[in-house]
């Protein structure tokens, strides 16, 4: 009896001390949150959220408002635009103990993005190292927050993504784009609804796999492939994961998380096998495709920077970003042109003059497409597939007269700045003349591919591919949006047209091929 009494007494006191310890932890955490409020609350920002008469803002900050704005993959950036217009160029955002500063000041954009002094924000980018506990983008180019380590990677990658190197793949761009036009032509009766975005996703995936990894898919011919769904699920997983990194522990989300895990495993296992086989072939002196992977492996070997883990992280990044963002850009252009007939006509006239009825578009042809450049830039202003980036401020700084303490994430958003009247007159009007060669250049308020040393590695690739596809599409077809379609944006980490740009196509009489 004494033994049981002793055990119960021990359990009792263990429970008491556990509860006391837990209470002390909670109190310490609340004190820390209060400290962050004292440290940052001089910065303008929206009131913290309330639930009825109960204030939850002390703990959750603006988290509930942000999460609500992201439901059903809605556009959180419109909320950021609203806050920046109301509270100014420096806006404080609180979520639990974490504070971010949302900045729409061109001088700050210049300072942070054009310098290597400010690393990428580890809170945001370290989050993407894994996806629901499984390695995702790891320490690849997109997510590496260590500048020295990132620079070593970029030095290896840069030559393979230079304009001079990518021009060598114009035959692939033309071949895949021509195949897409043939499929469009089969449905160009003026009545059949054509899912433009879906088919663009297929062709851009075929292009990135062929040009980067020497892999051949035939998605446009109806070949079954798990890759499109895997990419879509992974992107949805990113969006949900950023909202709630702990979803994997919640039973109601188990099915979704398992689908994301399976999709991620498919991408990484495919990359792992591809890299392994190519390294073996290169080492044995076998004939290998002259693609980006071969180029990177050879340069990495020369530089002594051949790390299989990093190669795989970047494989997944290229696989997703190289397909998704280019397809979204072209889809947004076509979507916008359906309500801009004068711009569409002018663009088609330029293509007719520069390319004519030629089957293959050359690099010289693309160099003559000045108005197309303007249309692409204006589309990226209103619909940037990658809307923003963030940097880490380690030391105190003054932005727009406001003291920003060190130890904070600084968020920059090209979507918001591109739609701000302070930087662009009549910002919601689609006007390619903003980017006429004689027009003043936007001063650090336009950065769809970021700026400075960490600007997007794939921007030349994306624009070359987009121009080839657009040339052929405008060369061959008139197009109209199917009634009932909207111009709304879907936010799944990248921005894409919500309704898929469902169009009817009609062949241009002057484009018929002999």
Please check whether residue 486 is in contact with residue 498, taking contact to mean a CB–CB distance below 8 angstroms.
Answer: yes
The CATH code belonging to domain 41-511 is 1.10.630.10
The confidence band for 303, taking pLDDT boundaries of 50, 70 and 90, is low
Cβ–Cβ under 8 Å, residues 391 and 410:
yes
- Using alpha carbons only, give the angle 471, 223, 196 rounded to the nearest 5 degrees: 35
pLDDT digits (tens, 9 = 90+) for 242-285: 777 778 888 888 898 899 899 989 888 888 888 888 888 888 88
Instruction: Give the tens place of pLDDT for each residue, 137-166.
Output: 888 888 888 888 888 888 888 888 888 888
Q: Is the pLDDT of residue 377 over 90?
A: yes
Stated pTM of the model: 0.90
Alpha-carbon distances, residue 171 vs 210, 215, 359, 361 (angstroms): 11, 15, 11, 9
CA distances from residue 53 to 45, 49, 50, 57 in whole angstroms, order as listed:
21, 11, 7, 11
Are 332 and 379 in contact by the 8 Å Cβ rule? The answer is yes
The residue whose two tokens read 């700084």 is 397
User: Tell me: the pLDDT tens digits for 312-336?
Assistant: 888 888 878 778 889 999 999 999 9
Closest CA to 211 of 271, 168, 259: 168
**β strands within 81-167, DSSP E:** 90-95, 98-103, 130-131, 134-135
The listed range with the strongest mean pLDDT (16-30, 169-183, 305-319) is 169-183
How far apart are the C-alpha atoms of 97 and 108, rounded to whole Å?
A: 24
Q: Which range among 125-134, 351-360, 432-441 shows the weakest confidence by mean pLDDT?
A: 125-134
The model's confidence at residue 508, banded by pLDDT at 50, 70 and 90, is: confident
Q: Which helix (H) or strand (E) holds 464?
A: helix 459-476
d(CA 389, CA 448): 10
What torsion, rounded to 10 degrees, do the Cα atoms 277, 262, 154, 390 define? 180
Angle at the Cα of 170 from the Cα atoms of 318 and 231, rounded to 5 degrees: 25
- Specify the residue for token string 């609350």: 41
């Amino acid at each position: 009896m004494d033994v049981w009494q002793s055990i119960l007494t021990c359990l009792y006191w263990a429970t008491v001390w556990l509860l006391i310890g837990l209470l002390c932890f909670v109190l310490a955490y609340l004190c820390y949150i209060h400290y962050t409020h004292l440290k940052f609350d001089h910065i303008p920002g929206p009131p913290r959220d309330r639930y009825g008469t109960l204030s939850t803002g002390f703990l959750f900050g603006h988290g509930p408002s942000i999460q609500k704005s992201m439901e059903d993959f809605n556009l959180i950036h419109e909320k950021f635009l609203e806050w920046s217009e109301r509270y100014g160029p420096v806006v404080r955002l609180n979520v639990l103990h974490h504070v971010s500063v949302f900045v729409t000041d061109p001088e700050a954009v210049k300072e942070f993005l054009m310098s290597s002094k400010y690393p990428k924000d580890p809170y945001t980018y370290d989050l993407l190292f894994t996806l629901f506990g499984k390695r995702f983008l790891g320490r690849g180019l997109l997510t590496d927050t260590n500048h020295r380590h990132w620079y070593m990677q970029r030095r290896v990658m840069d030559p393979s993504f230079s304009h001079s190197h990518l021009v060598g793949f114009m035959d692939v761009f033309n071949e895949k784009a021509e195949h897409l036009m043939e499929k469009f032509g089969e449905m160009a009766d003026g009545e059949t609804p054509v899912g433009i975005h879906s088919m663009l996703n297929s062709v851009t995936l075929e292009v990135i796999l062929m040009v980067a990894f020497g892999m051949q898919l035939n998605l446009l011919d109806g070949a079954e492939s798990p890759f499109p769904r895997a990419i879509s699920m992974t992107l949805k997983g990113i969006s949900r994961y950023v909202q709630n990194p702990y979803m994997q522990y919640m039973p109601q989300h188990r099915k979704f998380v398992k689908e994301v895990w399976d999709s991620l495993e498919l991408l990484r296992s495919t990359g792992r096998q591809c890299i392994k086989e190519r390294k073996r072939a290169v080492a044995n002196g076998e004939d290998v495709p002259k693609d980006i992977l071969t180029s990177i492996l050879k340069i990495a070997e020369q530089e002594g920077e051949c790390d299989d883990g990093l190669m795989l992280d970047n494989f997944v990044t290229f696989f997703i970003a190289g397909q998704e963002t280019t397809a979204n850009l072209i889809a947004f252009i076509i979507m916008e042109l359906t309500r801009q007939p004068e711009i569409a006509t002018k663009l088609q006239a330029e293509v007719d003059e520069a390319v004519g009825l030629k089957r293959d578009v050359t690099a010289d042809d693309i160099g003559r497409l000045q108005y197309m450049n303007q249309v692409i830039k204006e589309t990226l202003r209103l619909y940037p597939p990658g809307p923003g980036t963030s940097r880490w401020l380690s030391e105190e700084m003054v932005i727009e007269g406001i003291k920003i303490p060190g130890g904070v994430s600084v968020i920059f958003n090209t979507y918001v700045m591109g739609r701000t009247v302070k930087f662009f007159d009549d910002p919601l009007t689609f006007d390619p003349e903003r980017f006429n060669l004689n027009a003043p250049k936007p001063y650090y308020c336009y950065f769809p591919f970021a700026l400075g040393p960490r600007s997007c590695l794939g921007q030349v690739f994306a624009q070359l591919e987009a121009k080839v596809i657009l040339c052929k599409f405008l060369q061959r077809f008139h197009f109209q949006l199917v009634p009932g379609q909207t111009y709304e944006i879907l936010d799944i980490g990248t921005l894409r047209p919500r309704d898929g740009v469902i169009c009817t196509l009609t062949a241009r009489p002057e484009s018929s091929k002999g």
